[in-house]
Structure 1
Amino acid sequence: MSDEAPDRVARIQEEWRRERPDLDPSPQGVIGRLHRTAGLLTDELVEVYSAHGLGEGDFDVLATLRRAGEPFERAPGDLAEHTMVTSGAMSKRIDRLEAAGLVTRRASETDGRGRVVALTARGREVIDAAFADHLANERRLVAMLDPDDRAALERILAGWLRSLGGD
């Protein structure tokens, strides 16, 4: 660590070293800081979603529909898979977005029992504006890092994610 004052994770590690000198708490240096960083980043991201009247899950659904391309629709099961939530949680999100006039639901033309969720014109306007602000926010957040560090961190995280079985 540099000449900077110890952060919360360093203090926790020191406490564990004192209380359990038989264990090495060094993994907490990475995991603890990554966990704390993720929480702080989530707070920063959610603030932008909220400015557009969206929650994190709402943003996720609208962005997934928008990325689908014309006609900006997907089956509810596809939405759940792309956003990694249960079908029950997805139904609640869709209900909320439909009530807000951001998506519609209709019967599938190819599956008699299936449904399709589609962005409304208003939903497209909302997600386009929210996504532009989201990218500007992400750009601001990663600008806190040196460009070489940012590239290295992206490479390291991508490799670690693959090792953990993430896509």
Structure 2
Amino acid sequence: MDPVERAVNQWATEKPQLDTEPMAIIGRMLLLSKHLETQISKLHKQHDLKLGEFDVLASLLRSGKPHALTPSELLDALMLTSGAMTNRLDRLEGKGLITRVSNKHDRRSVTVQLTESGFELMTQLIEQHVNLQEELIAGIAQQERGQLNAMLTQWLAAF
């Protein structure tokens, strides 16, 4: 019996009129999210990265050559506040993984670009990241993954 089932059983005794199915679904989603984030964070930590820093680097890598985006484009990709983005960029620049390049025509405009070190790290790390994700969903049958993905996509679209 998982902790969610235990709570649902307790509510069935104390408040039998409650529909606890939404509680069970959301409770399990939250537990899964914590577990997944913990496992993925362990991998990133091996490379001295936090989850949010990895997200920035991954966005730059997947953007294609020259692996550069404006801070606004990064904000759109990652759904962050500008303050949070500035902090991430400062940390990544301090680690030598990104550089901020001023626009030659408009000095107020900056592009964030992977450094050679950042590119090499992410080229290696993205493979490890995807392999870990495969391990983490190994308990879901191959033929059910598409259906689960579609249901999660539909649910997310509701927000």
Superposition TM-score, scaled by structure 1 size? 0.89
The aligned amino acid for 1:139 is E
Corresponding residue number in structure 2 for 1:72: 67
Q: Determine which of 3, 24, 29 is the counterpart of 1:34.
A: 29
Deviation sequence 1:26-45 (CA, Å, 0-9, x none)? 21121111111111011111
Q: Could you say what secondary structure the match of 2:48 adopts?
A: coil
Corresponding residue number in structure 2 for 1:13: 8
Aligned residues: 159
Deviation sequence 1:49-108 (CA, Å, 0-9, x none)? 111221101100000111111111111121122111111000000000001100011212
Q: CA RMSD in A?
A: 1.3
Q: Could you say what secondary structure the match of 2:112 adopts?
A: strand
Q: Gaps (5+ residues) in structure 1? A: 1-5
Q: Could you say what secondary structure the match of 1:22 adopts?
A: coil
Q: Could you say what secondary structure the match of 1:30 adopts?
A: helix
Deviation at 1:110, TM superposition (A): 5.0
Deviation at 1:121, TM superposition (A): 0.3
**Distance in 1 (alpha carbons) for counterparts of 2:106 and 2:125:** 32
The aligned amino acid for 2:145 is R
Corresponding residue number in structure 2 for 1:3: none
Superposed counterparts of 1:1-150, under 5 Å: 6-150=1-145
> What is the percent sequence identity of the aligned residues?
36
Deviation at 1:131, TM superposition (A): 0.6
C-alpha change, 1:109 and 1:19, in structure 2 (3 Å) is farther
**Distance in 2 (alpha carbons) for counterparts of 1:78 and 1:155:** 27
The aligned amino acid for 1:154 is N
Structure 1 window deviating more from structure 2 (68-77 vs 104-113): it is 104-113
Superposition TM-score, scaled by structure 2 size? 0.94
Deviation at 1:151, TM superposition (A): 2.3
